[in-house]
């Protein structure tokens, strides 16, 4: 690394650390969320059949919400879309329901 880069690294601010999703590590569903999701067997099977990258991103999308109300709303969207064999638009960016 060049001296300017090393200097910038040394002077970084702690409050600016961990702001991006890739810096926060993997998120997992809380046990209650898994139980709710598994109650809809068709949706759970579809979700489990998806690639790990989609599962990680969809799980992060649900669990990264700050409010419990928003997490539950996102989980409901994920379960409903999974039941219909669709990936969520928040992850795919595709519309066309």
pLDDT tens per residue across span 1-46: 788 888 887 887 777 666 665 566 678 899 999 999 999 999 999 9
- pTM for the model: 0.73
Mean pLDDT of the chain: 87
Of 58 and 15, the structure prediction assigns the larger pLDDT to 58
CB 71 within 8 A of CB 62: yes
Of the candidates 72, 74, 97, 85, which has an alpha carbon nearest to the alpha carbon of residue 44?
A: 85
**What pLDDT score does 19 carry?**
61
- Output the six-digit token pair for 46: 């579809």
Core vs surface per residue 35-48: b (16+ CB within 10 A) or e = ebbeeeeebbebbe
């Amino acid at each position: 690394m060049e001296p300017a880069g090393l200097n910038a690294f040394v002077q970084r601010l702690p409050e600016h650390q961990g702001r991006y999703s890739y810096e926060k590590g993997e998120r997992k569903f809380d046990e209650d969320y898994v139980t709710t999701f598994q109650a809809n067997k068709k949706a759970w099977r579809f979700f489990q059949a998806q690639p790990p990258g989609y599962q990680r991103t969809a799980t992060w999308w649900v669990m990264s919400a700050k409010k419990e109300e928003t997490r539950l709303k996102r989980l409901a969207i994920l379960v409903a879309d999974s039941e219909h064999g669709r990936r969520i638009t928040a992850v795919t960016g595709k519309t066309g329901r």
